[in-house]
Amino acid sequence: MTPTPDPQPDRPYRILVVCTGNICRSPMAEVVLRERLGESGLAERVEVASAGTSNEEEGNPIDRRARAVLAENGYPVPHHRAHQVAPGELAHYDLALAMTRQHARALHRRAELDDSRRSAEIRLWREFDPASAGAPDLDVPDPWWGGIEGFHDTLAVVESGADGVVDYLREVLARA
């Protein structure tokens, strides 16, 4: 595991949330995490963005079902255009939160290819979810292939992990 970078006092702590196409899980998690950061008073100290490991959805908006589920649950749905993690992009983040082990492996490969002195710490979203403690599978389920109920399930998993991410950030930022 990449060591946790020390917070940089001259800029916000930066998080990149990553899934496959950047139209379902990662933008949902980005929205939820931003809301939780606002509620916790950390919004000014943390920036959140999202990306995909694939370019198959490049430029597309958030999935209509993800948009509907977020709105139904009171979350703002921002303008969003999917993009793939670009060469060198991980060097601009402190933490990359992967939705699955496969995404984490792709991010580690990207970091190796970038051959940079600095890269984001790469972790799984569900590592921060207390309900996942001891679970053999820490992957956030992909709702894309199913119906709207899968998006509700994914939102529940994302929400469950978001508070743990915020708690982690409090600890990291306390070192700044």
Catalytic residue numbers, as ranges = 19, 25, 142
Residues making up the chain, counted from first to last: 176
Annotate the chain with three-state secondary structure: CCCCCCCCCCCCEEEEEEECCCCCHHHHHHHHHHHHHHHHCCCCCEEEEEEECCCCCCCCCCCHHHHHHHHHCCCCCCCCCCCECCCCHHHHCCEEEECCHHHHHHHHHHHHHHCCCCCCEEEEHHHHCHHHCCCCCCCCCCCCCCCHHHHHHHHHHHHHHHHHHHHHHHHHHHCC
